C-alpha cells in the first residue's frame, strides 16, 4: 500500500471512529410562540418577558438585548438568562435602562443560537415632570367570549404611554362554562377543555391567552402594569376559598399556589419575596403616584352570601343590613398601613388601581318591573332588590363597608384621588363620599375587553337600566353597559381627561371604534 492510499484509509477509518465515538447531538426545537412583553416600569428599570417553547428538559441560555433602534444597530445593554424548566421556560429580566434613554422609546428582543423572538417596544417612566402622561386601562378579557379587538385598539393607540390591567386577565372555566356559547364558532375553545386547577392547567390557560395575536400585539407595543382579580384563581375567590371551588377539586390553598406560580411566570411583573404581596407603587415626577392594591387574595374575608337572606324570594333586609355592618377585611391592615405611608399630597393626582367597584351602588327599581320568567333562575331574587336601596354585590366594596371607610380616611390625605376599577364589565363614572358625606374622589370603571356586560343579559332593557342606575344612585354620574373596550386617562397638572373607547363588537374581527364618551375631571372636585 503506497503512502497516499494509506492516508486515505486512515482518514476513512478515523471518520468512522469519530462517528461512533462522537455521535451527532440533536439540537432541541426552540421557538418563541407566545411573543414578548414588558412591564412594571420604574424611571430606571423595566421587566422584559418572553416564553421559550421547547422539547428540551434542560435549562436553556437566552441572550437578551435592549436597543435604541428597531434594527439593533445601537445596543444599549444586553446579557444572558438561564430559562429553567421548573419555571416553565419563562424569561424575566429586570433590565436597567441607560440614563439618557429613560422615559424614551427603546426596543428589546431575545435570542437563542440565532433564533430570535419578536421585537418589543417599551419605555420606562419619565425621569422628570412630564407635561402630560396617558394611561390606558382595562380588565376582564374572556377568551372564549369573543375577540380581543379592544387589545388591538390599545396597541394601535400611539397616545398611550402605559397600560394597566386591573384583573381577570384569564378565566378559569371549562369549555362549557361562563361565556363559552360561541367559542366553537370563534375557534376559541378553552385549553385545557376542563376547569383549571393544577399548575399545568394554569400554565396551559396562560399559554392559550398569550397565543392570541391581538394580546401579543399589545404586549410588544406597550409596557403593562397588571394585578390579579378572582378569575386568575377562580370565581369570587377570597383568602381561603371561592364560590367556584368544590372539595373534590382538592385543597383551595394548593390551587391558589398553582395559580400564583403560573401568573408570576407568565406576566411581566416584578416579584416580591412574598409572592402573595402583589401591591406596589409607581411615581411620575409630581404629576401622579399610582398605587396598585390587591382586593382579592391575601386578606379578603369571605363574602356574605345574599342567598342566605331570602325566604321565598323575599329578602330579610333588616338582618342583611345588620350583617353587612360586621367588620370584615377586604385589603387588610398591612395594605392599609402601606397605603397610609405612601399616600402623599405632593402629587397632583393619586391613583388607586384596584379590582372591584368601590362606590355605593344599588339596583334601580326597574328590576322589580322585569318579567323574570324570561331570565335565568339565578337572577330572579336579585330583581326583588330593585329600588330597595340595599347593596346587591357583596363581592365588591359594598360588602365591606367598614373597610371602605378606613380606606376613605386614608385617601382623604391626597391632593386629588382617582380610583380605577375593573371587574363589572360595564363603564362607570362615580363620585365617592364617606359616611359623613365628605367628597373623597372619583371612581372610573372600565368596561370589559370581551366579557359579557348588561346588554348581553338584558338586551333592549339596557338603556333603561343605565338611566335607573344614574337616577337612583347619587354617586353614579354616568354608566354604560352596551359596549366593550377600554379607558384612556390623560393626565396633566390642570385636569384629567377620561375617554371611554369602545369597539362595536367582539363577535367579529370586523368592527368600528366608538370614541364619543369623553369627560374632564378637575382637581379634588366631584363630577357635576
User: Positive or negative, the Cα torsion across 331, 336, 337, 341?
Assistant: positive
Parallel, antiparallel, or unpaired: how do β-strands 237-238 and 45-51 relate?
Answer: unpaired
| pLDDT tens, position by position, 36-93 | 999 999 999 999 999 999 999 999 999 999 999 999 999 999 999 999 999 999 999 9
| pLDDT tens, position by position, 501-526 | 999 999 999 999 999 999 999 999 99
> Residue 499 in contact with residue 515, Cβ under 8 Å?
yes
| pLDDT tens, position by position, 277-302 | 999 999 999 999 999 999 999 999 99
Rg of the chain over all Cα atoms, to the nearest angstrom: 26
**3 has pLDDT over 80:** no
Any idea which of 15-24, 297-306, 328-337 has the lowest mean pLDDT? 15-24
Mean pLDDT for 107-115 is: 97
pLDDT the model gives residue 129: 93
Burial code (b: 16+ CB inside 10 Å, e: under 16) for 484-507 equals: bbbbbbbbeeeebbbbbbbbbebe
Please report, rounded to a whole number, the percentage of residues in the chain having pLDDT higher than 70. 95
Task: Name the band, by pLDDT with cuts 50, 70 and 90, for residue 26.
Answer: low
Parallel, antiparallel, or unpaired: how do β-strands 132-138 and 484-492 relate?
Answer: antiparallel
**404 has pLDDT over 90:** yes
For residues 73 and 477, give the distance between their C-alpha atoms in angstroms, rounded to a whole number. Answer: 52
| pLDDT tens, position by position, 29-52 | 999 999 999 999 999 999 999 999
What residue ranges in 159-222 does DSSP mark as E strands?
162-165
Phi, psi of 74 (to 5 degrees): -125, 90
What residue ranges in 200-287 does DSSP mark as E strands?
223-226, 237-238, 241-242, 280-284
For residues 355 and 296, give the distance between their C-alpha atoms in angstroms, rounded to a whole number. Answer: 8
Q: Which cell goes with 276?
A: 402573595
Name 23's Cβ contacts closer than 8 Å, sequence gap at least 6.
none
Please report, rounded to a whole number, the percentage of residues in the chain having pLDDT higher than 90. 91
Region at 240 (left for phi over 0; alpha for psi -120 to 50; beta for the rest): alpha
pLDDT the model gives residue 311: 86
For residues 228 and 260, give the distance between their C-alpha atoms in angstroms, rounded to a whole number. Answer: 9
In terms of Cα–Cα distance, which of 334, 328, 450 is closest to 397?
328
Please provide the average confidence, as pLDDT, over all residues in the chain.
94
Any idea which of 66-70, 91-95, 188-192, 307-311 has the lowest mean pLDDT? 307-311
Mean pLDDT for 226-234 is: 98
In terms of Cα–Cα distance, which of 389, 335, 334 is closest to 361?
389
Name 307's Cβ contacts closer than 8 Å, sequence gap at least 6.
381
Is the pLDDT higher at 5 or at 483? 483
**121 has pLDDT over 70:** yes
Number of Cβ within 10 Å of residue 46's Cβ equals 25
Task: Name the band, by pLDDT with cuts 50, 70 and 90, for residue 374.
Answer: confident
For residues 255 and 241, give the distance between their C-alpha atoms in angstroms, rounded to a whole number. Answer: 10
Domains in the chain, please, with CATH?
Answer: 129-522 (3.60.21.70)
pLDDT the model gives residue 294: 98
pLDDT the model gives residue 11: 39
pLDDT the model gives residue 6: 40
Mean pLDDT for 186-201 is: 98
pLDDT the model gives residue 1: 47
**310 has pLDDT over 60:** yes
Beta bridge partners of 301: none
Mean pLDDT for 126-153 is: 97
**345 has pLDDT over 50:** yes
Task: Name the band, by pLDDT with cuts 50, 70 and 90, for residue 314.
Answer: confident
| pLDDT tens, position by position, 430-460 | 999 999 999 999 999 999 999 999 999 999 9
Amino acid at each position: 500500500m503506497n503512502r497516499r492510499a494509506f492516508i486515505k484509509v486512515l482518514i476513512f477509518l478515523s471518520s468512522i471512529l469519530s462517528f461512533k465515538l462522537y455521535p451527532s447531538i440533536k439540537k432541541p426545537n426552540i421557538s418563541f410562540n407566545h411573543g414578548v412583553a414588558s412591564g412594571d416600569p420604574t424611571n430606571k428599570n423595566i421587566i422584559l418577558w418572553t416564553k421559550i417553547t421547547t422539547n428540551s428538559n434542560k435549562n436553556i441560555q437566552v441572550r437578551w438585548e435592549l436597543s435604541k433602534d428597531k434594527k439593533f444597530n445601537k445596543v444599549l445593554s444586553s446579557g444572558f438568562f438561564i430559562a429553567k424548566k421548573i419555571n416553565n421556560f419563562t424569561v424575566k429580566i429586570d433590565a436597567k435602562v441607560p440614563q439618557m434613554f429613560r422615559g424614551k422609546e427603546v426596543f428589546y428582543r431575545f435570542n437563542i443560537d440565532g433564533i430570535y423572538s419578536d421585537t418589543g417596544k417599551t419605555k420606562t417612566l419619565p425621569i422628570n415632570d412630564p407635561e402630560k402622561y396617558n394611561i390606558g386601562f382595562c380588565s376582564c378579557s374572556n377568551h372564549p367570549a369573543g375577540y380581543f379587538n379592544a387589545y388591538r385598539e390599545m396597541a394601535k393607540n400611539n397616545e398611550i404611554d402605559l397600560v394597566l390591567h386591573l384583573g381577570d386577565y384569564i378565566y378559569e372555566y371549562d369549555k362549557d362554562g361562563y361565556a363559552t356559547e360561541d367559542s366553537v364558532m370563534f375557534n376559541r375553545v378553552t385549553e385545557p377543555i376542563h376547569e383549571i386547577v393544577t399548575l399545568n392547567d394554569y400554565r396551559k390557560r396562560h399559554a392559550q391567552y398569550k397565543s392570541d395575536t391581538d394580546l401579543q400585539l399589545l404586549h410588544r407595543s406597550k409596557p403593562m402594569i397588571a394585578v390579579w382579580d378572582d378569575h386568575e384563581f377562580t370565581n369570587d375567590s377570597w383568602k381561603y376559598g371561592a364560590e367556584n371551588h368544590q372539595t373534590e377539586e382538592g385543597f383551595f390553598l394548593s390551587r391558589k399556589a398553582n395559580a400564583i406560580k403560573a401568573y408570576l411566570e407568565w406576566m411581566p411583573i416584578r416579584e416580591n419575596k412574598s409572592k402573595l404581596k402583589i401591591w406596589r407603587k409607581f411615581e411620575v415626577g409630581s404629576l401622579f403616584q399610582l398605587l396598585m392594591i390587591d382586593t382579592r387574595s391575601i386578606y379578603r374575608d369571605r363574602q356574605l352570601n345574599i342567598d342566605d337572606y331570602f325566604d321565598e324570594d323575599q329578602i330579610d333586609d333588616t338582618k342583611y343590613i345588620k350583617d353587612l355592618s360586621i367588620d370584615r377585611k377586604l385589603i387588610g391592615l398591612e395594605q392599609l398601613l402601606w397605603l397610609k405611608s405612601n399616600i402623599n399630597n405632593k402629587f397632583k393626582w393619586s391613583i388607586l388601581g384596584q379590582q372591584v367597584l368601590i362606590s355605593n351602588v344599588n339596583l334601580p327599581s326597574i328590576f322589580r318591573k322585569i318579567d323574570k320568567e324570561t331570565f335565568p333562575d339565578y337572577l330572579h331574587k336579585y330583581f326583588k332588590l330593585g329600588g330597595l336601596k340595599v347593596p346587591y354585590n357583596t363581592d365588591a366594596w359594598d360588602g365591606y363597608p367598614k373597610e371602605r371607610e378606613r380606606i376613605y380616611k386614608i385617601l382623604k390625605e391626597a391632593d386629588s384621588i382617582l380610583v380605577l376599577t375593573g371587574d363589572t364589565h360595564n363603564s362607570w363614572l362615580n363620585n365617592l363620599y364617606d359616611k359623613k358625606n365628605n367628597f373623597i374622589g372619583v371612581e372610573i370603571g372600565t368596561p370589559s375587553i370581551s366579557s359579557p356586560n348588561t346588554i348581553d343579559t338584558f338586551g333592549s332593557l339596557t338603556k333603561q337600566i343605565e338611566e335607573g342606575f344614574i337616577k337612583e344612585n347619587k354617586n353614579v354620574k354616568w354608566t354604560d353597559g352596551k359596549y366593550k373596550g377600554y379607558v384612556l386617562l390623560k393626565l396633566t397638572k390642570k385636569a384629567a381627561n377620561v375617554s371611554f373607547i369602545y369597539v362595536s363588537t367582539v363577535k367579529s374581527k370586523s368592527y368600528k371604534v366608538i370614541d364619543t364618551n369623553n369627560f374632564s375631571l378637575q382637581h379634588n372636585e366631584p363630577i357635576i
